[in-house]
Structure 1
């Protein structure tokens, strides 16, 4: 029985108890989703998130690799402090370029081929690092993996949002950030056992599997319909929804939305409320994600563990990684029940409090507003205040860091990427997503490079109080402007921005 047959049955039953019972809990959309089988959808999502897993390995690789490269006996690839800084940060520049490239690729060659394409720089980049004979090979390898990371951070959320239905889209979309932090943690763990060359070789395995796996996965139905390929779109939906779902109904709904949105992006589209409103929200989400100070917290992590007398710093970084994985996993499990706005608010409040307490910790341990660096502060605390205060307050720093990382992982880590993939019309998704990704990576680079200047200008405590203030603004912004997308189709979300009733 398809949806039209079900509708006729309800009309025949109108005025009866059966009609009241059925229509009281089931809409036309519910009838369709009840027939959907998610097995192959989960498979497609699993294959696609091998991209974010690779992205995570890129971000985590520098932490165990840089100490090896600084102390290596091979003069050709030995890094000094300045070279190590570039080895770690060049990824963000490559990712910013990759975001722009990804926005062009998803519109020109589609979501599936873009995913396969972005795997190649991952593989080649890690291969160049594995075989590196000089510093330039290291830099080129890192830049290539950064480029691939930028493409991945745009394409994978778009691919998942367009193949997943509204009942599971939040959970599936949260898997992007979950796999990123899993990759980071995996690099930390593997780095405790492997040298930098073998670690790079290990990091090349997920993107290799992605290339192979995506050969058997479908293109997104929305992209196919935007290209006028209805038969291929129905086949893709049949693969993703199972044999019992009447996919013609969903195909017709998507096709109607594609016809309404137009064939492609035009500059004049920026004047439409359904474009400029979500674009502004997406850009601000990405800006505020980096303005929380997450990179600063991670920068302080090793020194905090040192102050707390953790003898094994590698163990400390693994603990941080596992914390991110655990709470990002919780966010994925509850995303489609709790909603996006609630988790963003909880996350923002937790980070506001923990960043403020971080500022208190630094204020108390330094005893004055000086402009010392973190490492100088950490080494000077015992001499100026004695061992007692440092040991007594170490728990405060550890607790603050744990709460901040948990809060970020619960909301402001995964949700901006999820919302970005949900709110844009198909015809502007490539352009708008590229602007958001460029904002994210560009802001990450600026904050990282200006971090020492902030310390000099505002002191250590003042810098974290600034981050706390930004987290508080995040909460206000979320309440006032971020739409709740839980349980809504992509078409309903866009209708809300357009100001028309949802169909």
Structure 2
């Protein structure tokens, strides 16, 4: 009985201490001005905008390059498949390179340097005289995309405080889909060379703007640069916030985490648990089939008998932008876990419906694969078939992905790792993401041939059902928590110990 009373007393004391710490944190955050934080975030997300241009470029470029009169540049079916998917190989390499760069030279310089392969890659595409130059340009822009996909979420999460971190982190995916939509729209009127010229503008601007932005306080503290860290925090939080208090809190938490990363750290639950969650989030994101669908969006609509397939892909991209913006607005209120579950449900049902469409369509045409591009009576009279089902299914899929499984895996990846392992752990997650993206994108046509269009989308539907189960069981809620609190949860230590009381 005495032991129960003592335990209860400890719980009450812990609760009182946590409430006190939270109120002190709220008092601090009430003094914060976010203007310069938003400015730094804008400079950083020019990288994901460039990343979106890279992802979307293949959709308008492949049809043109497949019919171009110059035989040196004309892409056949296999070459077009490589042109769309080879970017993911560069991105996987970029993920490994980015993991090394963020630890060695910091988040800011990594962002500035990744502008270089973006610019060189698009320049090579602009000047391309043969297919191999096109491939090289795609690999280089993919390399930059891999670095960007790792560094930008880390940069933003380490700058932002918990009240706006979800919204700021969601801006990464918002700018990616904005870039995809932008390149689709530009592709309606520009040829593939002028399109590449337009794509080289955002990375150039990013290199310039990042010159005036600070390094993240957490990286500066990990390098023993306390004064520079306080200056960075003062820049990001405004003149009224006592930045030295937040700096001390981060510093104490960093001291508790230890020094540099070693392989023995993989035995630490504060490392292997978030690493497992991060890897599975990235794997499940790709198993939804999103990159395969976006890379070949125009072709998919052609196979679904939409005459204006290029306009349809613009509508899809616009839907993605709108609902990713919605996700950014509600992220810090609804929470990450709820949005992931809702997103998974939307995608599971919509891909199943898309499979039904292709099944019924193939039976109507007497074509078991559903892949014939030959003009059919249904294409002449869309109202007579089920084209509305294809369009609505694609719309619901993009809506669901944009609300959860688009932005949240990258956001959670940037939140859950201790500072000393962020480079290594993030690079593993990015390698998983882009490696699986390459496999799925490259084999998408083979899946369509082997399983039929209907079977392929039903396979994606089953994967979406699995990611719902995974989210419910394993993914933690990070809404409203500091990075130190999130990491303490994985270690199984009291969250309030992550704080350092202001003096």
TM-score in terms of structure 1 length? 0.90
The structure 2 residue matched to 1:47, chosen from 27, 43, 48, is 43
Aligned-pair distance for 1:457?
A: 4.1
Give the corresponding residue for 2:235.
239
The structure 1 residue matched to 2:434, chosen from 409, 434, 441, is 441
CA distance 1:183–1:327, change in 2 (3 Å):
same
Note the 1:452-463 alignment, pairs <5 A.
Answer: 452-463=445-456
CA distance 1:90–1:405, change in 2 (3 Å):
same
Distance 1:168 1:470 in 2: 31
Contact 1:130/1:197 (CA < 8 Å) preserved in 2? yes
Contact 1:45/1:172 (CA < 8 Å) preserved in 2? yes
Residue by residue over 1:36-56, the C-alpha shift from the partner in whole angstroms, topping out at 9 and shown as x without a partner, is 000000000000000000001
Contact 2:81/2:442 (CA < 8 Å) preserved in 1? no
Aligned-pair distance for 1:300?
A: 6.3
Distance 1:149 1:299 in 2: 15
Give the corresponding residue for 1:451.
444
The structure 2 residue matched to 1:146, chosen from 135, 142, 145, is 142
Give the corresponding residue for 2:332.
336
Residue by residue over 1:195-243, the C-alpha shift from the partner in whole angstroms, topping out at 9 and shown as x without a partner, is 2111111111100011110110000000000000000000000000000
Aligned-pair distance for 1:258?
A: 1.0
Residue by residue over 1:413-448, the C-alpha shift from the partner in whole angstroms, topping out at 9 and shown as x without a partner, is 110000000000000000000000000111111112
CA distance 1:311–1:144, change in 2 (3 Å):
same
- Give SS of 2:32's match: coil
- Give SS of 1:496's match: helix
The structure 2 residue matched to 1:126, chosen from 115, 122, 129, is 122
Contact 1:371/1:455 (CA < 8 Å) preserved in 2? no
The structure 1 residue matched to 2:153, chosen from 157, 161, 175, is 157
Distance 2:76 2:29 in 1: 57
Distance 1:430 1:54 in 2: 22
CA distance 1:359–1:136, change in 2 (3 Å):
closer
Residue by residue over 1:330-380, the C-alpha shift from the partner in whole angstroms, topping out at 9 and shown as x without a partner, is 00111001100010011001111111112222222223999854432x648
CA distance 1:374–1:104, change in 2 (3 Å):
farther
Aligned-pair distance for 1:125?
A: 0.8
Residue by residue over 1:236-276, the C-alpha shift from the partner in whole angstroms, topping out at 9 and shown as x without a partner, is 00000000000111000110111111221100000000100
- Give SS of 2:371's match: helix
Note the 1:12-411 alignment, pairs <5 A.
Answer: 27-298=23-294, 301-302=297-298, 305-306=301-302, 310-367=306-363, 372-376=368-372, 379=374, 382=377, 391-411=384-404
- Give SS of 1:285's match: helix
The structure 2 residue matched to 1:422, chosen from 405, 415, 422, is 415
Contact 1:346/1:411 (CA < 8 Å) preserved in 2? yes
Give the corresponding residue for 1:9.
none
Structure 1 spans left out of the alignment, 5+ residues? 1-19
Give the corresponding residue for 1:488.
481
Distance 2:387 2:346 in 1: 19
CA distance 1:312–1:460, change in 2 (3 Å):
closer
Distance 2:450 2:308 in 1: 32
Residue by residue over 1:382-436, the C-alpha shift from the partner in whole angstroms, topping out at 9 and shown as x without a partner, is 59xx988983311111111110111001100110000000000000000000000
Greater CA deviation, 188-197 or 424-433?
188-197
Distance 2:79 2:300 in 1: 24
CA distance 1:371–1:289, change in 2 (3 Å):
farther
- Give SS of 1:276's match: helix
Distance 2:131 2:363 in 1: 42
Note if 1:465 corresponds to 2:458: yes
Structure 2 spans left out of the alignment, 5+ residues? 1-15, 497-503
Distance 2:381 2:120 in 1: 51
Distance 1:110 1:303 in 2: 41
Contact 1:363/1:369 (CA < 8 Å) preserved in 2? no
CA distance 1:135–1:297, change in 2 (3 Å):
closer
Distance 2:303 2:211 in 1: 50
Distance 2:272 2:365 in 1: 43
- Give SS of 1:27's match: helix
TM-score in terms of structure 2 length? 0.90
Aligned residue-pair number? 479
Distance 2:83 2:448 in 1: 23
Contact 1:126/1:145 (CA < 8 Å) preserved in 2? yes
